[in-house]
Amino acid sequence: MELFLQQVLNGLTLGGVYSLVALGLTLVYGILHVPNFAHGAFYMAGAYAAFFIIDKLGLNYWWGMLGAAVTVALISVVSERLVFHPLRKAPYLHHMIASIGILLFLEAGAQAIWGADFHRMATPYNQILTFGGLTMPAQRLLIIGAAFFLVVLLQLFLKKTVTGATIVAMAQNREGAALVGIDATRVAMLTFAIAGALAGMAAVLYAPINLVYTSMGHLVITKAFVIIVLGGMGSVPGAIVGGLIIGFAEAFGAFYISTDYKDIIAFALLVLILSLRPQGLFAKGAH
């Protein structure tokens, strides 16, 4: 039973990180209908930005997180302006290839600056907490708490503020949103900024229990794609639920099936589900 609960906690940790990354991806998809392959590189850029702030500038973890959020939001907005905006009328293939271009550039850039080595990110939360038989590193609890907090914050922002509502409106109907006077450019930039900030913070949360390296975004972004395909592209609740499903599937799969193959589980799940239901689990209509 304790082992089972342990896996539940692990699943929540992974699910939290995946949800944050998938949320950014799904928001951008909702606005632009672009599968942004560069999102994984944004995640990686966040980890490096925080690593730089913590390790080189000697500031504390929270400054690192703030710095990462701001840096990645900037990178994200700049790439929207310079790359996705000029391509908004191009065929989908061009979007994808351009986003791959950004991804390759950011990864090679990080490697040119910091080298190919793995880096360890310091965290002030090294303690191991125990609650009757359950052991839990504090950092993992922080991930769960912070992910929950950010998801709630995002929900409130989208539902309760006018600015948030413009994002939802644009995702629902681009022309309709433009007709009622919503500035598409502003909303697109805002969405990219939020997506970037979420990816950056997710990276800073997860990096201390993982490591910082240039290809750290690969698996995370691919899983985030799996999540938003399962949850319905553009759907916010879908990204959260999908993130938790994949997080739990991996935590339990690693424990009950095999650690070696845990990374395959998410992909195998996608292949299985799309083979049976090409339209995804929760999505309406065919892709």
Partner 1 sequence: MKLIHPVTGWLLLLVLALAFPFLAGNDYHLTVMSTAYIYAIATIGLNLITGYTGQYNLAHSGFMAIGAYTVGILTVDHGMSFWLAFALSGFVAAGIGFFVGIVSLRLKTHFFSIFTLCVGYIMYLLIEKWESLTHGTVGIMGIPAPENIGPLDFSEPRTQYYLVLFFLVASLWIMHRIVHSLLGRTFMAIRNGDDLAQALGINLMRNKLLAFMLSVFFSGLAGGLYAGYVRFLGPGVASVEHTFDMTMYMLVGGIGTLLGPLLGAISVPWLTQYLQVLQEYRFVVFGPVLVLLVIFLPYGIVGTYLNRQRRKAALKTVPPAAAPEAGSSTPAPKQGANHA
Which residues are near partner 1 by CB under 8 A? 35, 82-83, 86-87, 90-94, 96-98, 100-109, 111-112, 116, 218-219, 222, 225-226, 229, 260-261, 263-264, 267-268, 270-271, 274-275, 278, 286-287
Helical spans, DSSP H, in 2-91: 2-32, 39-51, 61-79
User: Which of 215, 254, 144, 197 shows the shortest CA–CA distance to 27?
Assistant: 197
Q: Nearest distance from residue 21's CB to partner 1, in Å?
A: 14
Minimum CB separation of residue 145 from partner 1 in Å reads: 30
Q: How far is the CB of 261 from partner 1 (least distance, A)?
A: 6
Taking the C-alpha atoms of residue 127 and residue 24, their distance in angstroms, rounded to an integer, is 30
Of 94 and 120, nearer to partner 1 (C-beta) is 94
**How far apart are alpha carbons 11 and 175 in whole angstroms?**
40
Q: How far is the CB of 64 from partner 1 (least distance, A)?
A: 25
Nearer to partner 1, 180 or 286 (CB): 286
Q: Residue 260 CB, nearest distance to partner 1 (Å)? A: 5
The residue (of 206 and 225) whose beta carbon lies closer to partner 1 is: 225
Give CA–CA dist 38/263, Å, rounded. 20
Burial 134-170 (b: 16+ CB within 10 A, else e): eebbebbbbbbebbeebbeebeeebeeeeebebbbbb
Which is nearer to partner 1, 91 or 132 (by Cβ)? 91
**Which distant-in-sequence residues (6+ apart) come within 8 Å of 43 by Cβ?**
21, 72, 199, 200, 202, 203, 216, 217, 220, 221
* Nearest distance from C-beta of residue 18 to partner 1, angstroms: 14
Minimum CB separation of residue 187 from partner 1 in Å reads: 21
**128 three-state secondary structure:** strand
Helix (H, G, I), strand (E, B) or coil at 135: strand
Residue with tokens 């909303």: 187
Minimum CB separation from partner 1 for residue 215, in Å?
9
Q: Which is nearer to partner 1, 119 or 218 (CB)?
A: 218
CB 211, CB 118: distance < 8 Å: yes
What is the distance between the alpha carbons of residues 81 and 189, in angstroms, rounded to a whole number?
A: 8
Between 130 and 259, name the residue whose CB sits nearer to partner 1: 259
Cβ atoms 214, 104 nearer than 8 A: no
Q: Residue 93 or residue 162: which is nearer to partner 1 going by CB?
A: 93
Rounded CA-CA distance 210/247 in Å is 15
**Given the complex with partner 1, which of 10 and 214 has the nearer CB atom?**
214
